[in-house]
Structure 1
Amino acid sequence: MASHNFSLRPLVSGTRILFGLLPGLGSILMLRMVIHLYRPDIEDAEHRVKDVPVDELYNCYDFIIIGGGSAGSVIASRLSENPDWNILLLEAGPDENVLSEVPVLFPALQTSSLDWQFVTEPSSDYCLSMVGNRCKWPRGKVLGGSSTLNAMLYIRGNRKDYDNWAMLGNEGWAYNDVLKYFLKAEDMRIPEYQNDPYHSTGGPISIENFRYEQPITKKILEAGEQFGYRIVDVNGEFQTGFTKSHATLRDGLRCSTAKGYLRPAAKRGNLHISLHSLVEKILIDDHKNTYGVKFTKNGISNVIKVNKEVILSAGTIQSPQILMLSGIGDSAELKSLGIDPIAHLPGVGKNLQDHIAMGGHSFLFDNPYTNGSDYCFNYHTVSSIGSLIDFAINRNGPLYSMMEAEAMAFVNTKYQNPVEDYPDIQLFIAPSADNMDGGLFGKRANGLTDATYADLYEDILYKSSFSIVPLLLRPKSRGYIKLSNSDPNTAPLIYPNYYSDQEDMARLIEGARIAQMLVEQPALKEVNARPNPNRNPGCKKHSLMSDEHLECQARHHSLTIYHPVGTCAMGPAKNTEAVVDTKLKVHGITNLRVIDGSVMPTIVSGNTNAPIIMIAEKASDIIKKDWSDSRIVRFKYDTVPNLKYQDKNNIVKIEPRHVENSKSTPNIFNEISSLFPYLSQDILKQYEKSITNQSGKQNVTDISIKSTKASRGGFEKNNISNFLPNSYYSKEIKENKQAKGDRPRFTSNAVNNKVSPKLLRPYPYNGDEYCKTMTESILSTNSRNIDYFKGYSPILSDQSKNYKQNIMYYNNINDNFDTRKDNKFISNTESISNEPKKSNIWLYYNGLKYEIQL
């Protein structure tokens, strides 16, 4: 009789994660409020890109750029430097959300509405522990593209990568040719590298180390030196070695290409940016001349013509998709889908490469701190009120951390000659593992099944841990992308074909062994570092660390590192698989270029965002040079668009637009529900259902809200209750109506009467603006927060005097400011050592007052 193993463990784990997501969303909601109230530098309302409505677009532009991602943002900015050129940038997604700038939130952005949410086709060779045997492939559907939701890591690759491009027939793309474009883009802010010949300052993309570092990261770097590697500048002369991660950060916050390139250019009169604009096809006539694009915005199809060029920068997945939809690709495949072929380029969609990694390499250790401070990433600390204070007031703390790769290494397996300085494995060194966020974000981002997560992490939740993820730098395996049908709204089919070349597996197995040897170094033995005792459920039959076990783990816990490239490869015309030439012009088509990661003939040895920015910088110069050549005649479809005016020389220009600065209060509830629909819709319904008792009434611990005004942002009545986590913020929110014209008053329910009320700085109130109270209310609770921060972290403990000074400042300003009753904030708080603290405050939002219980 066949036996069947059944376990409730995955169900229990999945239910726990479901309920944990709601407090997690509440933390994000509170963070968004804090940013609006206290961080105008992040809101940056004055410089944000403004969407140009369809009725303000013109019927013809000099250049049309498809895709406002890592490459498209660069090109739009650089080409619009020429005031005589009119530029249209079409982006399918919205502008950046302010939350995307907070480094620690990057895993939450994946699977959000800013992500295209691609998945690979099911496979029996990889992604076996993922839902449906499919890998998730996050791609940015937002200005800045994937630079807006990636891990911000800045790696150029190895000089040999680019020299090999030149050897393949791509003249002008060797390392010495492209270095100046890395330098042009860069604003190096790491002090020791600012005067280095391999770095520069003043470029649009600033480079920093992550502002907040976990102590375990320093121990791992120490172990790397004990292992025989040096701490080096991996973007400098040599790549082999260990390093603190370089990242695209500005003042500790994300610096995407939209932030670095588009915001400074957004008010130029010759640049139109159209958001939520999905390109259906590129328009090419019978003579293979490109003359425009067709796109959909607000459900309406539009056609815009082009004078000079269409530039396709939709990324490795969608650039080949749009080419094929436009009739460029393998003729037989296009005909089978009912698409008329215009140019037979069989390389479109082929040559797909990605950095594949082996997940599951988690290591436990003993926290050497005895005062309760963290030694590694801890979700509870990051989502705490103390972390919010640190972020809002001191502009520091764990919200500035990046749990996936605070450090990294480039190392050599036994298959690679170390003398060459051409390492074949990259190690991501993370001061965390998937157990440290309780499965709230990492599990969802990677697509792990409930059963796999439960077996690996459920019994070690929140135990001190770190992970070392080995990835293969130069895979030999090649995949492809093909159309599912001729509908531009249908995602293409993705076949990465990981491990189809057995050498890839052999090198990755050795990379995993290197990670294990690193953990055995004295620095990590001091903290009793040891492997996660749990095994992937699909690999338990194999001996631990055997070739069979590691191969099984690689096939089950397969991780993309979000670096797909190569599907519109650059190469000479004699190469039948090449799609573009060295100027990135599509072979056989006039006035059409592809400029993004898809043009890489081979993948670079490192993260791909910096190389893609470099490609766009170099391509912009190529375009400028081409069109400054008098021998190039304007395209025959050159027509005068319906513009506002012409100058005295009859040169067409777009009239400068007066872009208004939006300072209106955002609808935060609606914004968050739209950003995280998977949390605000299906999960909320399940949550509401689960807390309904047998009599059909909601549990008394649920939050209630009577206001219908607050529910306009996509929330049903009472739904806002579910967004504020009971453990941090609230068990009760009540509407408190005010007399018309009365300014908001914020008072807390006193816990006791031992603490004297303190008057805080009045904050001007206009219309629906918030009153500046939340953080002040927290800061006014002297003993509570001083006690909290003294034990917060050994790194921050020396700053406790600063926290006290801030608190004293807010508590003693009543002599200098108006003391009108309408601007009072009173807080009485009880401090109980080593016990949960409770305090009530009032938040004013969108014309209503809400009582928040902390």
Structure 2
Amino acid sequence: MMGSRWVLLLLLGLWMAEESRGDADPYLLDQIVPLGELLGFQEPALGRDPRNLSSYDFIVVGGGTSGCTLASRLSEDPRRSVALIEAGGVENLGHLTPLLSSYTQLTASNWGFKSVPQNASCLGMNHRQCALPRGKVLGGSSSINTMIYNRGNRRDYDGWAAAGNPGWSYQEVLPYFLRSERAHLEGLEQSPYHNHSGPLSVEFVRYRTKLAEAFVEAAVEAGLPLTDYNGESQNGVSYVQATTLNGRRHSAYSAYIQPVRDLRPNLHIFTFARVTRLLVDEASKTAYGVEFLHKNQSYVFRALKEVILSAGVFGSPQILMLSGIGPEKDLRALGIPLVQALPVGRRMYDHISHFGPTFVTNTSRQTNYFSRVTTTDVLSFYTDSKADTRMSSIGGVEALAFLKSNRSELPPDWPDIEFMMTAGSLASDEGTGVKMGANFKDEVYEKLYKELAKSEQDHFTLLVMLFHPRSVGRLWLKDRNPFSPPQLDPHYYTEDRDVEVVLDGIKAALRISEMPALQRIGARLLNRIVPGCEDFQFASDDYWRCSIRTLSFTIYHQVSTCRMGPRIDPHAVVDHRLKVHGMRRLRVVDASIVPVIPAAHTNAVAFMIAEKAADMIRDEWGSSD
């Protein structure tokens, strides 16, 4: 994992770079030593060595967004014992630094999943494999993601309820979004769509460039209203609402576990503990515990009430199938005894995006090049109570726009396209962070972005994200080895209509770039050919179609591998109370239960799911005797 020592080395490196240019502050070096001592205090190793055959009321498998939230809520009752089991470790200062989010994906805090080779997408990736990052750390993906907080559209949740999932309409889930939120959003203090007393901090990104201001103004000139996309209407443009606190990442661990971990003797946290299978009584189909490895030793924990899988959209289905719960034909082919036949992993949705278009501008020193981070920026970020330097930029993302494509058949208030306005590109970190994390080929960086990095030419990128894909992927086991990663085939762009919707989005982005606010800063399309698209006329429809399939980019919003739905739904794995169909005392509580992908960044959804699940579990089991 990236540690505090890395931050100190960055600080020293920046100071030496300034010294070589002759503009270093002589007083800053005196501050580096005490700061190094401060940064040396890393999070203590959490948890304890497990004791074999320990019993807990609730065993929560996975310490990601939903797992941290759920374990915290269930342990509020001091008479209930809760075990939280996480395969990774604990976040540190590197994770808390928003600008470094792409680098966290290059560490052991990321599971490092990749798709099987794709034929219709990710053509610009090594071996045509899409990188599919997922968090392997307390906090899960909330500790390595881009921190965007977007709940989605009310129609998404009303559709869930209408499909046979009572209790999941917008009016019924909104209170759980609000329960988690502690908003610090200037201008929205009186909004009924925001809460100010929850555990999770949500604020506007504290660092803002003139590029973002010009984009928001141009989007308004193009006809998009200013909006609170988590409020009454999603359509429009807004600066980003992020899960940060005073400019620093605020993960599920930071919000839900860290404040209470030393205050609740009934909450036991186990890190670097890998669950390998569920313990199930096959006769009664009752889950009664888990088996896991810790320091290369096998342990068993028993659940007095429930086992709850919160291992994520890839981990939860994998554990189910390893335990005999999944597609009968697939499990029998691997020699796994069947416990319950269910379509685990048979559906997987994601918001595939296009990395672009990129626009160069006539501004100066606005793009978030890492080379522009100064020693003062670093010192201010780590020592000031409220950080607002470049270090607070959430991977460069500054504004979002939500709109409908020309071919959309959805109601007027239900967008099918999102723009993520980013003050940079692969050039921002000279190909060392985003490029490697996303598995882009060297050729893509060399031909498209290297010259931008060398010249430090100001530019910005509009990532075009597809909200309602028709392409559906799936997940399956490679073998019976619990340490083998699952096989992941997202099937991006296998439906041509998905490409056409993204193409509509690119055309809308180009129209916004022609508005006066962006023309005043000289915004113009980066005139470089995407590798592999040389046979097409630059900026023609066919060129963009080629670019869409080449510069495919996931924001890791995968869902639905343990889909929620009634028993009559042939794709459902859990019911509306998140209980695994046909099983007793076993639930899944994470984004894998999402039945249809919403117009949302799914981390906010994962918080909501866990908050709602906590109430359902408490309602069922009541107070302890």
Alignment match of 1:289 (pick from 286, 289, 295): 286
Q: Residue 35 of structure 1 contacts residue 43 of structure 1 at CA under 8 Å; is this kept in 2?
A: no
Q: Does 1:183 align with 2:178?
A: yes
1:295-694 paired onto structure 2 within 5 Å? 295-345=292-342, 347-367=343-363, 374-382=365-373, 384-394=374-384, 395-416=387-408, 420-461=412-453, 462-628=456-622
Letter in 2 for 1:430: T
User: CA 1:396–1:36 in 2, change beyond 3 Å: closer, same or farther?
Assistant: farther
Note the C-alpha offset of 1:435.
1.7
Deviations 1:65-93 (A, max 9, x none): 00000000011000001111111010000
Letter in 2 for 1:351: R
User: CA 1:177–1:31 in 2, change beyond 3 Å: closer, same or farther?
Assistant: farther
Note the C-alpha offset of 1:390.
2.8
Note the C-alpha offset of 1:404.
3.5
- The secondary structure found in structure 1 opposite 2:65 is coil
Q: Residue 7 of structure 2 contacts residue 94 of structure 2 at CA under 8 Å; is this kept in 1?
A: no
Q: Distance in 2 between matches of 1:489 and 1:378?
A: 38
- The secondary structure found in structure 2 opposite 1:143 is coil
Q: Residue 101 of structure 1 contacts residue 254 of structure 1 at CA under 8 Å; is this kept in 2?
A: yes
- The secondary structure found in structure 1 opposite 2:304 is strand
Q: Distance in 2 between matches of 1:364 and 1:25?
A: 33
Note the C-alpha offset of 1:362.
1.1
- Bigger CA drift: 301-310 or 34-43? 34-43
User: CA 1:241–1:59 in 2, change beyond 3 Å: closer, same or farther?
Assistant: same
TM (normalized to structure 2)? 0.92
Q: Distance in 2 between matches of 1:438 and 1:116?
A: 24
Note the C-alpha offset of 1:265.
2.2
Q: Residue 418 of structure 2 contacts residue 466 of structure 2 at CA under 8 Å; is this kept in 1?
A: yes
Q: Residue 566 of structure 1 contacts residue 599 of structure 1 at CA under 8 Å; is this kept in 2?
A: yes
- The secondary structure found in structure 2 opposite 1:261 is helix
Q: Distance in 1 between matches of 2:569 and 2:74?
A: 30
- The secondary structure found in structure 2 opposite 1:570 is coil
User: CA 1:393–1:323 in 2, change beyond 3 Å: closer, same or farther?
Assistant: closer
4+ residue runs of structure 1 moved beyond 3 angstroms?
23-26, 28-45, 392-396
- The secondary structure found in structure 2 opposite 1:191 is coil
Q: Distance in 2 between matches of 1:620 and 1:36?
A: 45
Letter in 1 for 2:565: G
- The secondary structure found in structure 1 opposite 2:269 is strand
Note the C-alpha offset of 1:59.
1.5
Q: Residue 36 of structure 1 contacts residue 43 of structure 1 at CA under 8 Å; is this kept in 2?
A: no
Note the C-alpha offset of 1:392.
3.8
- Bigger CA drift: 540-549 or 268-277? 540-549
User: CA 1:433–1:115 in 2, change beyond 3 Å: closer, same or farther?
Assistant: same
User: CA 1:42–1:231 in 2, change beyond 3 Å: closer, same or farther?
Assistant: farther
Q: Which position in structure 2 is the counterpart of 1:135?
A: 130
- The secondary structure found in structure 1 opposite 2:122 is coil
Task: Please provide the CA RMSD for this pair.
Answer: 2.2
Letter in 1 for 2:10: S
Note the C-alpha offset of 1:417.
5.8
Q: Distance in 2 between matches of 1:432 and 1:54?
A: 45
TM (normalized to structure 1)? 0.68
Q: Distance in 2 between matches of 1:443 and 1:569?
A: 32
The unaligned stretches of length 5 or more in structure 2 are 1-5, 16-28
Q: Distance in 1 between matches of 2:132 and 2:576?
A: 28
Alignment match of 1:27 (pick from 6, 10, 13): 10
Q: Which position in structure 1 is the counterpart of 2:47?
A: 51
- The secondary structure found in structure 2 opposite 1:508 is helix
Letter in 2 for 1:375: Q
Q: Residue 351 of structure 1 contacts residue 566 of structure 1 at CA under 8 Å; is this kept in 2?
A: yes
Q: Distance in 1 between matches of 2:32 and 2:609?
A: 34
Letter in 2 for 1:358: H
1:59-208 paired onto structure 2 within 5 Å? 59-208=54-203
Q: Distance in 1 between matches of 2:39 and 2:433?
A: 23
The unaligned stretches of length 5 or more in structure 1 are 1-22, 631-650, 652-854
User: CA 1:418–1:481 in 2, change beyond 3 Å: closer, same or farther?
Assistant: closer
- Bigger CA drift: 417-426 or 31-40? 31-40
Note the C-alpha offset of 1:38.
4.1
Deviations 1:322-367 (A, max 9, x none): 000000001111011110010010x200210000001141111112
1:687-836 paired onto structure 2 within 5 Å? none
Q: Residue 400 of structure 2 contacts residue 419 of structure 2 at CA under 8 Å; is this kept in 1?
A: yes
Question: Higher relative contact order by CA 8 Å / sep ≥ 6: 1 or 2?
Answer: 2
Note the C-alpha offset of 1:629.
8.2
User: CA 1:230–1:417 in 2, change beyond 3 Å: closer, same or farther?
Assistant: farther
Q: Which position in structure 2 is the counterpart of 1:725?
A: none
Deviations 1:405-424 (A, max 9, x none): 21110011112368621010
Q: Distance in 2 between matches of 1:37 and 1:29?
A: 13
- The secondary structure found in structure 1 opposite 2:397 is coil
User: CA 1:39–1:232 in 2, change beyond 3 Å: closer, same or farther?
Assistant: farther
Q: Residue 88 of structure 2 contacts residue 109 of structure 2 at CA under 8 Å; is this kept in 1?
A: yes
Q: Does 1:271 align with 2:254?
A: no
Q: Residue 418 of structure 2 contacts residue 465 of structure 2 at CA under 8 Å; is this kept in 1?
A: yes
Q: Residue 78 of structure 2 contacts residue 266 of structure 2 at CA under 8 Å; is this kept in 1?
A: yes
Q: Which position in structure 1 is the counterpart of 2:250?
A: 255
Letter in 2 for 1:416: S
Alignment match of 2:234 (pick from 216, 232, 239): 239
Question: What fraction of aligned residue pairs are identical, expressed as a percent?
Answer: 37
User: CA 1:328–1:40 in 2, change beyond 3 Å: closer, same or farther?
Assistant: farther
User: CA 1:392–1:31 in 2, change beyond 3 Å: closer, same or farther?
Assistant: farther
Note the C-alpha offset of 1:544.
2.3
User: CA 1:108–1:309 in 2, change beyond 3 Å: closer, same or farther?
Assistant: same
Q: Distance in 1 between matches of 2:320 and 2:164?
A: 23
Q: Which has the larger radius of gyration?
A: 1
Q: Distance in 1 between matches of 2:33 and 2:86?
A: 26
Q: Distance in 1 between matches of 2:465 and 2:238?
A: 16
Q: Residue 202 of structure 2 contacts residue 242 of structure 2 at CA under 8 Å; is this kept in 1?
A: yes
Note the C-alpha offset of 1:35.
9.5
Q: Distance in 2 between matches of 1:575 and 1:629?
A: 33
Q: Distance in 2 between matches of 1:323 and 1:179?
A: 30
Q: Residue 11 of structure 2 contacts residue 375 of structure 2 at CA under 8 Å; is this kept in 1?
A: no
User: CA 1:189–1:543 in 2, change beyond 3 Å: closer, same or farther?
Assistant: same
User: CA 1:36–1:306 in 2, change beyond 3 Å: closer, same or farther?
Assistant: farther
